[in-house]
Amino acid sequence: MIYLYVAAAIAFVSLGAYAKLEHSGKVAAQAQTEACNTARVAMGEQIKQQNSAVEALQAAGVAKAATAAKALAKAEVRAKVWDDQAKRLQAALTARKPDGPKDCKAAWQEIRK
């Protein structure tokens, strides 16, 4: 009979230890879940900040691209003017055929007129 009481006591002690072990595992899992939730919230805030920074960079890039496009258009207009002037000067220099005397004395006389 005493063996029955000892076996019952061992069974109750074993069940108590198992219940305590289960409870501690549950508490650890809940703590880990809380930590994950806290980390998730922190990451969400960081992602929001990064998204706002990306949007600001995108807006700055669009503004710079618009400024660059205006500057490029202005430069193209200036380049066209200079190209047109260069073509006119080249045509004037190649089309001119001096008539009359071609020596230095005649040139100086023409300049001094």
4-55 confidence digits (pLDDT tens): 777 777 776 677 766 666 767 777 778 788 888 888 889 999 999 999 999 9
CA 9/CA 12 separation, integer angstroms: 5
What value, to the nearest 5°, has the Cα angle with vertex 28 and ends 25 and 30?
Answer: 110
Q: Coil, helix or strand for 83? A: helix
Q: Residue 16 is part of which domain span?
A: 2-97
Q: CB within 8 A of 100, min separation 6: which ones? A: 106
> Per the domain annotation, does 103 fall within a domain?
no
Whole-number CA gyration radius for the chain:
47
**Is this prediction's pTM over 0.75?**
no
> Per the domain annotation, does 49 fall within a domain?
yes
45-94 confidence digits (pLDDT tens): 999 999 999 999 999 999 999 999 999 999 999 999 999 999 988 887 78
> Per the domain annotation, does 108 fall within a domain?
no
